[in-house]
């Protein structure tokens, strides 16, 4: 099961970091820019793929996983979507656990088509999904997980400022995101890995540490995908509450911070891939130090 592979990779690398490839053409340093006469979608996608592969080469021995955000690729149409799958294929060949971040959701028959697209036919090992449709919009993804050993991360508590607008609404003593969390726990029970975590994980934003701490207790067997480190403002202390007392159970994503590290003064002497690597190592040290302060070795 891919959840066991993810847990093992985190233990081996001692690095609960996910390199987020939310790559826009505008993020590329000059040496990756197109020299073609016309800057078509397909030209942009080609440049983004080259950049992504170099980033993957630079980090694949130190991080366990990458998260590839579909939106940035969909901007460049069919060529962009080709680049999305090619990026995941390359990361997978380099041994990384691959998370497709596409937050898909629909009624059952349509969710089945999404599961086919993003779990069964895809190099991705995990897919992010949105639970607004309830179980029959989730079931096709679970069936695909059953068939392939892959997993999903269900949106529970998102990292953005207005995440609470609906998610924090009070429902007879619980918040909406807690009601979603309770279902995620239930849905995940039949898909438990030998690592003690289920193939049905949760997205829990790093920017709400008080809520994350309570969710960690509420969902002892649910693996957390944690966005929000760096560019979105969460620090390592905020992050640490997402881990269990063995320092496992979560992987922390950084996208803009990592891809654009080459623009920061600290890393400005490095190439973009080397800057991404240095950023990932600093992020690892930052998180591991925070875990240590919480008494986790």
Catalytic residue numbers, as ranges: 103
| Ramachandran angles phi, psi of 234, nearest 5° | -80, 145
CB of 62 to a second copy, least distance (A): 25
Residue 194 within binding range of a second copy, rule CB under 8 A: no
Is residue 279 a contact partner of residue 254, using CB atoms and an 8 Å limit?
yes
CB of 276 to a second copy, least distance (A): 18
* 38: three-class secondary structure by DSSP: coil
Q: How far apart are the first and last CA of the chain?
A: 26
Nearer CB in complex with a second copy: 118/284: 118
The window from 6-14, 112-120, 209-217, 234-242 that contacts a second copy (CB under 8 A) reads: 112-120
What is the per-residue binding string for a second copy in 113-152, x denoting contact by CB under 8 A?
A: xx-xxx--x--------xxxxxxxx---------------
Residue 166 within binding range of a second copy, rule CB under 8 A: yes
Is residue 23 a contact partner of residue 238, using CB atoms and an 8 Å limit?
no
The count of other CB atoms within 10 Å of the CB of residue 69 is 22
Is residue 254 a contact partner of residue 20, using CB atoms and an 8 Å limit?
yes
Buried b / exposed e across 256-288, counting CB within 10 Å, b at 16+? ebbbbbbeeeebeebebbebbbbbbeebbebbb
Residue 103 within binding range of a second copy, rule CB under 8 A: yes
Candidates 36, 57, 61, 71: give the one binding a second copy (CB under 8 A): 71
CB of 165 to a second copy, least distance (A): 3
The count of other CB atoms within 10 Å of the CB of residue 248 is 17
**According to CB under 8 A, which residues from 7 to 26 bind a second copy?**
22, 24
Buried b / exposed e across 139-178, counting CB within 10 Å, b at 16+? bbbbebbeebebbbbbbbbbbeeebbeebeeeeeeebbbb
What is the per-residue binding string for a second copy in 241-280, x denoting contact by CB under 8 A?
A: ---------------x------------------------
The window from 4-12, 170-178, 236-244, 282-290 that contacts a second copy (CB under 8 A) reads: 170-178
Residues in touch with a second copy (CB under 8 A): 22, 24, 69, 71-72, 74-75, 77-82, 85, 103-111, 113-114, 116-118, 121, 130-137, 155, 158-167, 169-172, 176, 179-180, 183, 227, 232, 256
């Amino acid at each position: 099961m891919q959840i066991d592979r993810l847990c093992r990779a985190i233990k081996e690398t001692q690095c609960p970091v996910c390199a987020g490839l939310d790559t826009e053409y505008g993020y590329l340093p000059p040496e990756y820019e197109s020299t073609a006469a016309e800057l078509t979608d397909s030209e942009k996608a080609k440049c983004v793929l080259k950049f992504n592969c170099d980033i993957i080469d630079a980090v694949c021995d130190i991080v366990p996983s990458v998260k590839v955000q579909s939106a940035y690729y969909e901007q460049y149409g069919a060529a962009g979507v080709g680049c999305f799958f090619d990026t995941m294929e390359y990361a997978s060949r380099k041994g990384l656990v691959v998370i497709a971040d596409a937050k898909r959701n629909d009624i059952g028959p349509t969710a089945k088509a999404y599961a086919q697209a993003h779990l069964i036919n895809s190099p991705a090992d995990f897919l992010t999904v949105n639970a607004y449709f309830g179980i029959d919009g989730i079931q096709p993804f679970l069936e695909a997980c059953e068939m392939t050993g892959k997993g999903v991360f269900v949106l529970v508590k998102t990292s953005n400022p207005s995440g609470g607008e609906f998610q924090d609404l009070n429902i007879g003593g619980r918040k909406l995101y807690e009601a979603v969390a309770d279902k995620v726990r239930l849905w995940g029970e039949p898909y438990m890995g030998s690592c003690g975590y289920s193939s049905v994980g949760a997205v829990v934003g790093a920017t709400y540490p008080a809520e994350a701490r309570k969710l960690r207790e509420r969902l002892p067997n649910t693996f957390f995908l944690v966005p929000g480190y760096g560019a979105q403002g969460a620090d390592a202390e905020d992050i640490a509450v997402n881990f269990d007392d063995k320092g496992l159970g979560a992987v922390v994503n950084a996208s803009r911070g990592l891809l654009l590290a080459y623009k920061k003064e600290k890393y400005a002497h490095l190439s973009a891939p080397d800057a991404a690597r240095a950023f990932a190592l600093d992020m690892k040290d930052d998180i591991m130090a925070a875990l240590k302060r919480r008494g986790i070795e």
